[in-house]
Structure 1
């Protein structure tokens, strides 16, 4: 959740032109997406089975879709991903975490 919150902070009020110009923000946002990617790859299989509506494969492959090779990053796709999908992902993860806490109690 921290990675998503950080991405939201980094992009609040940010326009696409400024995103393309600001290498520090690009690196910070890409790092956040890498963390989300790794976390989803290591999600507990039981959790994946319970929440089949979550596109686990899409989340787990986000880094591969956004970064082609070592130095070729599709910034337009990164921008579209954070603008269109990050809120929904945060909502889904919040629901998952709430469900896990309820089951543990």
Structure 2
């Protein structure tokens, strides 16, 4: 059985109305770091227990796995920084809430 550990919210650490995501579209190093962290995060979600994932049906687990494959294997060519910024702004907060709830149950 997988052990759940506290998430490290690196992708949206610079919050406060998301100024970091604006920089993401202009800073190649920050963009590359965000891509790598999203790859790691999406890979980690594949190792979460199915019963825990079932407790968060609003999270598109299958889509997260697909997104990981797109990032890692570059299926669609390079993903542009605005798309990555949108993923960070819109999809990470609900995922973080779900994982934190999983951790609270442990």
Q: TM-score, normalised by structure 1?
A: 0.73
Distance (whole Å) between structure 2 residues aligned to residue 93 and residue 23 of structure 1? 29
Matched, 1:47 2:63: no
Instruction: Tell me by how many angstroms 1:52 deviates.
Output: 3.2
Q: Which structure's residues are more often helix, by fraction?
A: 1
**Counterpart for residue 8 of structure 1:** 12
Structure having the higher Rg: 1
Which structure 2 residue ranges, 5 or more long, are not aligned? 1-6
Residue deviations 1:16-68, cap 9 Å, x none? 3x322211101111111111111111212232344434321122222235563
Aligned to 1:19: 24
Q: Residue in 1 aligned with 2:86?
A: 80
Q: Could you tell which deviates more after superposition, 44-53 or 29-38?
A: 44-53
Please give the TM-score of this superposition, normalised by the length of structure 2: 0.73
The Cα RMSD (Å) is 2.5
Aligned length: 97
Instruction: Report the secondary structure of 1:72's partner residue.
Output: coil
**4+ residue segments displaced more than 6 Å:** none
Highest relative contact order (Cα 8 Å, sep 6+), 1 or 2? 2
SS at match of 1:27: helix
